[in-house]
Amino acid sequence: MSKFQFKGRDNRGELTTGFIEANSSDAVATQLINSGVIPVEITIFIEPIDQIEALKTFLGIGKPTLDDIILFSRQMYTLMRSGVPIIRAMAGLAESTQNAKMRQIISQLQQDLESGKELATSLASHNNIFSSLYVSIIKVGESSGALDDAFLQIGKYLELEKDTRNRIKTATRYPLFVIIAIVIAMFIINMVVIPQFAQFFKSFGAELPWPTKILMATSEFTVAYWPMILLVIVGAVFAFRSYINTEAGRFQWDRMKLRLPIFGSIIRRAILGRFSRSFAMALKSGVPLIQAMTVVSRAVDNEFVAERVLSMRNAVERGESLTNTAAATGLFTPLVIQMFSVGEETGLVDQLLGEVADFYEREVKYDLDKLSDSIQPILIVIIGVMVLILALGVFLPMWELAGKMKG
């Protein structure tokens, strides 16, 4: 639907102006005539673009965080459980929410509810904030009259999701800082330290060993072409980001992430834990199986796994069992496949999927706790090799020069 601005004359001939949302200008004219207004002018209303706000949106500045959405869900559950009408609850949250963008969204949700829209429909219009899983759970809650429970369930799910993300960030922070420090140190050594040694060695005119020649050649190249090197690095990063933003690039990158050494296994299990948890919650909330699989495929945040989930959905639509389709994907462990089978036999798929999610989340937690211990030896080896190269390149010629001076 589009927003139209109109001018018209009422029964007394007075000028009337306003805005109406409709599918076409003809529909606007019909509404006006039915309300006793003769339309004079009807135009599509284009919202003025705030350049600063547009820039903030592009850069992601001020966008509601996962914490904001969790807080919103928890507050809505508490208010509705206490008997506060939903529109009044929205009005109160719109005044008390700290994040300006979230406050604006809640106000829009309130206006949509006052105009007669369903909450799920209004949430879906903010799909960059509320996921399809969020919208589906709320839609089922609206239909069943248990909207407060729907907010509670989605809030708990998002809290578990936040906890997993925080654990991954904490585990990867140390190796990331070490790698950045190594890159900065190498750049400084090539730009400042090695050129000083190179001038010192050249003043003697002695034959230099090959490790020293390699260091000097690398340093000379870095000093001469460092703007070009930085340009190539920035260009490579930009090209990579542009590629993974394409459909094919995102799919290939998501598949590659699952094959990374050390990290790949953790990422795979974290995604499967997210799949199991969201699938269990959707089924428990009353979302139909096929629709739940479609929604969950968007919630896993990995195009490769999403494709496998959609293949499961298609197979289930053809009449195959959930167990067989899950086994055909090659994503799940035999233990999890057995739990799928038992769940189908007993009719407790949602409950056993929750057990599957607990299983994966415990494994991810354990692996993240020991991730630093796994990466530390690799980092030590990398640093040791760098120190060895520098030592050979710097000290070998010094030893040779000292030997010649003694001789």
Say if 273 falls within a structural domain: yes
User: pTM to 2 decimals?
Assistant: 0.67
- pLDDT of residue 55 exceeding 70, the answer is no
* Rounded alpha-carbon distances, angstroms, from residue 66 to 142, 165, 267, 359, 398: 23, 10, 20, 24, 57
147 and 100 within one domain: yes
> To the nearest whole number, what is the mean pLDDT of the chain?
82
Task: Note every long-range contact of 225-233, with CB atoms under 8 Å and residues 24 or more positions apart, other chains counting.
Answer: 226/191
136 and 107 within one domain: yes
Provide the pLDDT for residue 309.
87
Last residue of a domain, one of 159, 193, 224: 159
Render pLDDT for 371-391 as a digit per residue (tens, 0 to 9): 777 777 887 888 888 778 777
What is residue 126's three-state secondary structure?
Answer: coil
The single-letter code of the amino acid at 200 is F
Provide the pLDDT for residue 25.
83
108 and 29 within one domain: no
125 and 69 within one domain: yes
- pLDDT of residue 232 exceeding 60, the answer is yes
Provide the pLDDT for residue 212.
76
Domain at 128, CATH number: 1.20.81.30
Q: With bands split at pLDDT 50, 70 and 90, how would you rate the model's confidence at 235?
A: very high
Q: At what angle do helices 247-257 and 303-317 cross, to 10 degrees?
A: 100
Render pLDDT for 97-121 as a digit per residue (tens, 0 to 9): 888 888 889 988 888 888 888 888 8
Neighbours of 296 (CB within 10 A): 29
Which position has the token pair 């799949």?
275
322 and 287 within one domain: yes
- pLDDT of residue 54 exceeding 60, the answer is no
82 and 10 within one domain: no
Neighbours of 6 (CB within 10 A): 22
Q: With bands split at pLDDT 50, 70 and 90, how would you rate the model's confidence at 49?
A: low
Pairwise CA distance, residues 206 & 404, whole Å: 10
Task: Note every long-range contact of 314-317, with CB atoms under 8 Å and residues 24 or more positions apart, other chains counting.
Answer: 316/289, 316/290, 317/290
Contacts of residue 40, defined as CB under 8 A and 6 or more positions apart, other chains included, come to 6, 7, 8, 9, 15
Render pLDDT for 141-172 as a digit per residue (tens, 0 to 9): 887 778 888 898 888 888 888 887 888 788 77
Say if 179 falls within a structural domain: no
Per-residue tokens: 57: 């949106």
Provide the pLDDT for residue 238.
92
Neighbours of 271 (CB within 10 A): 22
- pLDDT of residue 358 exceeding 80, the answer is yes
State the pairing for strand pair 38-44/15-22: unpaired
Provide the pLDDT for residue 236.
92
Pairwise CA distance, residues 322 & 311, whole Å: 11
Say if 224 falls within a structural domain: no
- pLDDT of residue 345 exceeding 70, the answer is yes
Provide the pLDDT for residue 47.
62
Render pLDDT for 253-312 as a digit per residue (tens, 0 to 9): 989 988 888 788 888 888 888 888 888 888 887 888 888 888 888 778 788 888 888 888
Say if 94 falls within a structural domain: yes
Provide the pLDDT for residue 362.
86
Last residue of a domain, one of 112, 133, 159: 159
Provide the pLDDT for residue 16.
83
The number of residues making up the chain comes to 407
Mean pLDDT, residues 39-52: 70
73 and 134 within one domain: yes
90 and 31 within one domain: no
Residue 23's domain comprises: 2-47
Say if 34 falls within a structural domain: yes
Q: With bands split at pLDDT 50, 70 and 90, how would you rate the model's confidence at 239?
A: very high
Provide the pLDDT for residue 231.
93
114 and 27 within one domain: no
84 and 8 within one domain: no
Contacts of residue 396, defined as CB under 8 A and 6 or more positions apart, other chains included, come to 209, 211, 212
Say if 116 falls within a structural domain: yes
Pairwise CA distance, residues 39 & 365, whole Å: 64
343 and 306 within one domain: yes
CB 151 within 8 A of CB 138: yes
CB 402 within 8 A of CB 224: no
20 and 118 within one domain: no
Task: Note every long-range contact of 282-287, with CB atoms under 8 Å and residues 24 or more positions apart, other chains counting.
Answer: 282/133, 282/136, 282/137, 283/349, 283/350, 283/353, 284/153, 284/350, 284/351, 284/354, 285/136, 285/137, 285/140, 285/141, 285/150, 285/153, 286/140, 286/143, 286/144, 287/136, 287/137, 287/140
Say if 233 falls within a structural domain: no
Per-residue tokens: 263: 């990290």
Provide the pLDDT for residue 391.
75
Say if 10 falls within a structural domain: yes
Lowest-confidence segment of 22-26, 68-72, 315-319 by average pLDDT: 22-26
Render pLDDT for 170-220 as a digit per residue (tens, 0 to 9): 877 877 888 888 888 888 877 877 787 777 766 666 667 777 778 788 888
Per the structure, the count of domains in the chain is 3
- pLDDT of residue 400 exceeding 70, the answer is no
Pairwise CA distance, residues 148 & 156, whole Å: 13
